[in-house]
Each structure stands twice: as structure tokens, then as C-alpha cells.
Amino acid sequence: EPEVTQTPSHQVTQMGQEVILRCVPISNHLYFYWYRQILGQKVEFLVSFYNNEISEKSEIFDDQFSVERPDGSNFTLKIRSTKLEDSAMYFCASGEGQNYGYTFGSGTRLTVV
Amino acid sequence: QKEVEQNSGPLSVPEGAIASLNCTYSDRGSQSFFWYRQYSGKSPELIMSIYSNGDKEDGRFTAQLNKASQYVSLLIRDSQPSDSATYLCAVNNWNFNKFYFGSGTKLNVKP
């Protein structure tokens, strides 16, 4: 069964450092998303991406965050200057269409120390 | 106002029983409704989608939607210990650009 692949599975970084989280969505999917889940809390929307541009972003997705689809297969989330409160599980997801459920990757656990 | 509300549980049911999970949402413009299952430390896994009022059955799972009451539910028949997980209700926003997730209901199925 097709899957969404995320790397790394766990990233530890120092506060103020830049991190890039990588995702390979399912190949025929057109819609891409990043969500995050702080330990013990709900899954929170960060950003949606379609046709090489951001469709919508949340208040969490401030100027420190950016997304890119550099080569037609990878989809990346960059956090420029990490804060302690950025520590969370980050999930990439992709979907065939806006009105369909989407498939989540296995997540990257980001720990900012 | 919370967009999607779920009882956090835990909901405990004996093996073989029916588990009933409920969700309410606030955006009347929502068109798509989903149930995800999340095991501890893992990513959400899509188990059911529903778009029209009424019931939709898939194996042991039945999703129910009542748009007038802004209510979605999931029934799990013949519950198994392997069904023990957190069940997340997800609802699309009015322009389909994102899902709102509830905080999830933790289900424990006791052997």
C-alpha cells in the first residue's frame, strides 16, 4: 500500500538552530499538509500546499516556518530558528483531493533543547 | 469556540461489545467528516469517511452523520483489544483547505 515517508524519525536540535523536516508524499497525490501534535495534545494544522503554493496556513505557521516542494517528489518543512515550544511530533500528510481523507506519514519527533 | 469536540474518555468496553464514539462540530459549512485511529506514539490512520447524512458501514465500523445536529459518531461492533487506541474525529473547514481535529477519545477494550 502506498505510504507517506518522513525523515528523520527523530531530530534533536538546539534552540535557535534551523531544522528541515522531509516528506515524500504518495506519488499521485496533489494536496500536501503539515500538522503537528504536542505530546498529549490534539493534532494541529500548520499548512496546506497545492499547485506549488500555500493554500492556507495557521497562526502557528509564522515567519519562522516555510515549506517547499523542491523537486516534484519531496515536500519539506523548515523551521528557521527553533524554540523550545516547537518540540512536537510533526506529521506530513498527502491527499488525492480536497474532499478526501488524507494519509499521514509516520512523523518526525522534534526535540528542541 | 472549539471547532471539533470529543469526550476525551477513556471509554472502557469489554471485548465483543459495541463501542460508541461521538463528535460534535461547529462549522455548518463542513462537508467531509473522518474518523482516524491513533495508537500511542504513532500517526493517525484513516478508518472511515462520511459525507452524507445517515449511516455508512465498513466491516465492524459504522459512521453516522447528522448535519442538522452537527454530530458525527463511530460505532465499533465486536470490539477487540486491538481496537484500543485514541479515535480522532476530523472535519474539513469550509473551503476544504484543512481539517480540524478533535482532541480524541481514548478507547480501552478489555479482554
Tell me the pairing of strands B45-50 and B33-38: antiparallel
Predicted pLDDT at B96 = 72
Contact: B102, A48; criterion CB under 8 Å:
no
Q: Which residues of chain A have pLDDT under 50?
A: none
Length of chain A: 113
Predicted pLDDT at B1 = 57
CB proximity A33 to B under 8 Å? yes
Which cell numbers in the block locate residue A103? 494519509
Tell me the chain B residues in contact with residue A46 when contact means C-beta distances shorter than 8 Å.
none
Q: Which residues of A63-96 are buried (b: 16+ CB within 10 A; e: fewer)?
A: eebebebeeeeebbbebeebeeebbbbbbbbbbe
Q: For every one of its 111 residues, what pLDDT tens digit does chain B have, with 9 covering 90 and above? A: 568 999 988 999 999 999 999 999 998 888 899 999 999 999 999 999 999 999 999 999 999 999 999 999 999 999 999 999 999 999 987 677 888 999 999 999 999
Predicted pLDDT at B94 = 67
Show Cβ contacts of residue A88 under 8 Å, excluding neighbours closer than 6 positions.
A36, A37, A38, A39, A109, A110
Q: What does the alpha-carbon distance between residue B51 and residue B84 come to, in Å, rounded to a whole number?
A: 26
Predicted pLDDT at B2 = 65
Nearest CB neighbour to B32, from listed A35, A91, A99: A99
Give the Å distances, CA to CA, from A92 to A26, A44, A49, B9, B53.
Answer: 11, 12, 11, 27, 30
Q: What does the alpha-carbon distance between residue A6 and residue A4 come to, in Å, rounded to a whole number?
A: 7
Q: B87 and B21 in contact (C-beta within 8 Å)?
A: yes
> For residue B20, what is the DSSP state?
E
Contact: A98, B101; criterion CB under 8 Å:
no
